[in-house]
């Protein structure tokens, strides 16, 4: 390939590389200061998640440990109705969880349609580390979790059960309305002091979904993707639309081609729009982090926000750019 983009090198060295070193005559080098560590995660509940991740990152811990520890915070928080304990159930009243994790070596683990386990992300990590597989679902995932020593607990809180009963009495819609109340997966991307990336994504999925439905969040490439040579991405929103576009893999590939993180997310949102004629009725948001610590987000409709923590800027919430 010999187009100009081939010659645009994004570098974390903070210095311009000599053309001769790159073996080409014309070089438009974009110097990007290396920022490390970084914790980046979706929605308001990303703030406390980042804090937990930061404790590990700041002490020199791994991106993988940080991502797992970070998303465990909303998983255990009953006030977060879209992740883990206290998550909104499916139409039958069952809370079923999806989660996946990926590290800097491209190793990954995932669980889907998992019931009664407070921390699906930690089960996903065990799948990655203790089995030759990537994904376990349903009864098999639960059996595996039991074998690994995870204890079972009811995830349906009385408050959430009351909401579900009301929804049922009002004979809820076939597809739940898309808004920030029922659509807040936590996806987290971390960059550690050694320059390695990892990611984690965990959710109770779309509220009042069909029993057995699995969304994008536990699907590597759809809800999460990490390539340590380039960057990582995670997704939130209507999972079916994200799966159709293999959204997070796409974001990372756009970054590999030289696009910055927000622009890569924007291009992936455009692809989602192309593939989903009903796009004005759905929300999809992508969040991305590069190897150099740059971050960005883009979504269909206003309302998606994310939390970022860096050494210089502290832990703060930012609004994503949007198409509408």
Minimum distance from residue 84 beta carbon to ligand ASP (Å):
12
Please say which residue, 235 or 289, places its beta carbon nearer to ligand ASP: 235
Minimum distance from residue 308 beta carbon to ligand ASP (Å):
18
CB 288 within 8 A of CB 251: yes
Please say which residue, 55 or 240, places its beta carbon nearer to ligand ASP: 240
CB 29 within 8 A of CB 19: no
Minimum distance from residue 209 beta carbon to ligand ASP (Å):
7
Minimum distance from residue 203 beta carbon to ligand ASP (Å):
5
DSSP annotation of 91: T
Please say which residue, 82 or 290, places its beta carbon nearer to ligand ASP: 82
Please say which residue, 146 or 213, places its beta carbon nearer to ligand ASP: 213
Count CB neighbours of 296 within 10 A: 26
Minimum distance from residue 275 beta carbon to ligand ASP (Å):
15
Count CB neighbours of 79 within 10 A: 10
Please say which residue, 185 or 276, places its beta carbon nearer to ligand ASP: 185
- Sheet (strand 38-42) strand order: 135-137, 108-114, 97-102, 197-203, 186-191, 38-42, 305-310, 314-319
Can you spell out the DSSP letters for 43-110?
Answer: STTHHHHHHHHHHHHHTT--HHHHHHHHHHHHHH-TT-TTSSTT----TTS---EEEEEE-TTS-EEE
User: Catalytic annotation on 185?
Assistant: yes
Q: Which one from 42, 82, 96, 185 is the annotated catalytic residue?
A: 185
Count CB neighbours of 5 within 10 A: 11
Beta-strand pair 224-227/231-237: antiparallel
Please say which residue, 287 or 292, places its beta carbon nearer to ligand ASP: 287
Token pair listed for 131: 């089995």
**Interface ranges with ligand ASP (CB under 6 A):** 82, 183-185, 203, 205-206, 215-217, 236-239
- Token look-up 């386990």 returns 117
318 sits in which H/E element: strand 314-319
Token pair listed for 147: 């074998």
Token pair listed for 262: 């927000």
CB 76 within 8 A of CB 119: yes
Say how far apart CA 163 and CA 284 lie, in whole Å: 24
Minimum distance from residue 147 beta carbon to ligand ASP (Å):
26
Beta-strand pair 284-290/295-299: antiparallel
- Active centre residues (catalytic): 185
């Amino acid at each position: 390939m010999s187009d100009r983009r081939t010659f645009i090198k994004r570098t974390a060295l903070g210095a311009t590389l000599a053309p001769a070193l790159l073996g080409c005559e014309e070089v438009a080098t974009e110097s990007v200061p290396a920022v490390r560590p970084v914790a980046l995660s979706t929605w308001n509940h990303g703030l406390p998640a980042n804090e937990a991740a930061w404790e590990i990152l700041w002490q020199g811990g791994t991106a993988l440990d940080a991502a797992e520890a970070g998303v465990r915070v909303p998983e255990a928080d009953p006030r977060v109705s879209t992740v883990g304990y206290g998550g909104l159930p499916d139409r039958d009243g069952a809370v079923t969880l999806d989660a996946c994790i990926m590290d800097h070596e491209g190793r990954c683990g995932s669980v889907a349609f998992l019931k009664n386990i407070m921390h699906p992300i930690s089960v996903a990590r065990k799948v990655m580390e203790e089995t030759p597989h990537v994904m376990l679902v349903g009864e098999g995932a639960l059996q595996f979790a039991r074998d690994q020593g995870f204890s079972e607990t009811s995830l349906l809180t009385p408050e959430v059960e009351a909401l579900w009963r009301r929804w049922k009495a009002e004979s809820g819609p076939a597809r739940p309305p898309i808004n920030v109340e029922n659509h807040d997966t936590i996806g987290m991307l971390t960059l550690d002091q050694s320059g390695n990336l990892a990611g984690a994504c965990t959710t109770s999925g779309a509220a009042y979904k069909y029993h057995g439905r699995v969304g994008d969040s536990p699907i590597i490439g759809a809800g999460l993707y990490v390539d340590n040579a380039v960057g990582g991405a995670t997704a939130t929103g209507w999972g079916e639309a994200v799966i159709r576009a293999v959204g997070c893999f796409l974001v990372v590939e756009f970054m590999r081609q030289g696009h910055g993180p927000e622009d890569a997310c924007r291009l992936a949102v455009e692809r989602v729009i192309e593939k989903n004629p009903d796009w004005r009725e759905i929300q999809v948001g992508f969040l991305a982090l590069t190897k150099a610590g740059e971050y960005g987000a883009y979504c269909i409709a206003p309302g998606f926000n994310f939390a970022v923590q860096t050494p210089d800027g502290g832990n703060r919430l930012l609004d994503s750019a949007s198409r509408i």
